[in-house]
Amino acid sequence: MSKTLNVVILNPPSPPFLDVCRDWAGGFGTVTPVKRRADYGQSGKPILYPFLAYASAVLSNENYSYSILDCQRLKLNKFQVLKDVKKRNPDVIFSLIALPSLKRDLELLDMIKESLPYTTIVGVGTSCRFLQNDILLNSKIDAVLRNSYPYISNLTHFLKVLEPKQNLKKVPGVSYVKSGKVINTVEHPDTSLNKLLPPNYDALELDGYESFKDLDGNRYNYVPIIGSKGCPYSCVYCPYPLGWGKKWTHRSPKDIVDEIEQLYARGVKGFLFRDQSFLMNKKHAIKVCEENIHRKLDIAWFCEARVDHVSKTLLKIMKKAGCKQIHYGVETGDPELIKLGKPQTNLDTTRKAFRWTKELGLWVTAHVILGWPDESLETLAKTSKFVAEIDPDCVNWNMLTPYPGTTLYEIAKQNSLILTYDWSKYTSHTIVMKTKWLNASQLQKATNKIIRDYSKRRMIRLLHGLKKPRFVFSELSDTIKGFFM
């Protein structure tokens, strides 16, 4: 027998002039500027958020009537969203909310609330765990769920209390407003991945999402897979433990590859392992690879990994299992700053990881962070030189961002380094904190030069290496964009 509530799982469109990825940065989200779009919508291809498939699993298991509205995939503007939601006339909306799009996400949800005043609107996401007051006291939404990724552990509990209109105090991990004050119920215990229902893709279209490429220039549309979650490391800046939890939990290799095989049957051949480090537990990673090799699935995938977790043997197994690309957190090229940026590693460890990965013919991306509390022109120069030395296929340049809830946030506050508390600036690419030695203007000028110099060197190298034209010309396009930033 179906439940009486009609539920909508909502991923709002991106705000004007921005493309937001609500999944990155531990679920706080990152943004890419879009100059020409002045309305809500989507310019580039978004990622498929695991929350949508996991929420679908728990709702279908409980026989709720529900639908999924991914406004980014559909590239809906404000008017189209309001029209679509009103047509569905839901009793409850669970909506993703990101940090850099927080104000605009809330504005859109307020418009929906005005159009459907009797609909209960509930926010989900890492921002809801740490900024519940900001959200609830500055919007018309009814509640937020303060649970960890993929944000569904107390979702049906909320609905079961809401349906007979019982007190929300009975639901752990929920915040709501009563008599002008925010009420926070007791924290919901983190749920191990192996206790969650497997994600359900039946109500999801799988086309129109982001792709990745390998060294031969082949592109693969991909679906993110959560094989494990949680990070026990104490990197002061990292939002992963905030959104995903500190305790490492995992699904069985069989369940992981079962999911991959089901998606493969629907024509999906590209995958992203959303694990904070695919090699957090090496035995588990090997079993996942061996399970895929055993089933002979012709897939391509990429992942994140810590540089101190890899070995040549592991990389060979990963490549045999279909791995095409690995992302490493390089963070900095300064031997002192790395002690804060990536504890338990050093620059030599990073050098070896990049050398092994490149020798095996895997695409390697370096994630670099600029603007550490003790960053100076000298340390920035060392990072620039180090990135040139390890020679990644791609660099994701980030500005150090003091996400609320991190140790860095407290360090930056205590040292008066934070320049703004306007969350729309917390994009991971915008300077929101100065360093002890550089003001915002100096830091911006220095980082712009580093990125331009890198792009110029890479463009020259690509022009000299035309052995793989498809790859080279595709890379030239990306590099030229970086050169003219």
Tokens 């939990």 correspond to 249
- First and final CA of the chain: distance in angstroms? 57
The pLDDT of residue 59? 97
Q: Is the dihedral of CA 199, 144, 98, 67 positive or negative?
A: positive
Pair 40, 14: CB distance under 8 Å: yes
pLDDT at 237 exceeding the cut of 80? yes
CA–CA distance, 84 with 470 (Å, rounded to integer): 40
The pLDDT of residue 188? 81
Which amino acid, one-letter code, is at 15?
Answer: P
Residue 442's Cα: distance from chain center in Å?
Answer: 29
Residue 386's Cα: distance from chain center in Å?
Answer: 26
In this predicted model, what pLDDT tens digit does every residue of 438-466 receive, in sequence order? 999 999 999 999 999 998 888 887 776 64
Residue 294's contacts (CB-CB under 8 Å, 6 or more residues apart) are none
Q: What separation in angstroms does the CA of 56 have from each of 21, 63, 169, 207?
A: 20, 10, 25, 18
Which alpha helices (H) appear in 116-252, and where do they start and end? 126-130, 132-136, 155-162, 240-244
In this predicted model, what pLDDT tens digit does every residue of 272-315 receive, in sequence order? 999 999 999 999 999 999 999 999 999 999 999 999 999 999 99
Mean pLDDT on 217-246? 94
Q: Please name each of the domains of the chain with its CATH number.
A: 6-184 (3.40.50.280), 209-483 (3.80.30.20)
Q: Which residues of 50-59 are buried (b: 16+ CB within 10 A; e: fewer)?
A: bbbbbbbbbb
Which alpha helices (H) appear in 62-186, and where do they start and end? 71-74, 78-88, 102-115, 126-130, 132-136, 155-162
The pLDDT of residue 459? 81
CA–CA distance, 398 with 418 (Å, rounded to integer): 16
Q: What separation in angstroms does the CA of 110 have from each of 83, 105, 115, 206, 328?
A: 14, 9, 9, 29, 39
Pair 30, 427: CB distance under 8 Å: yes
Indicate the pTM of the whole model.
0.93
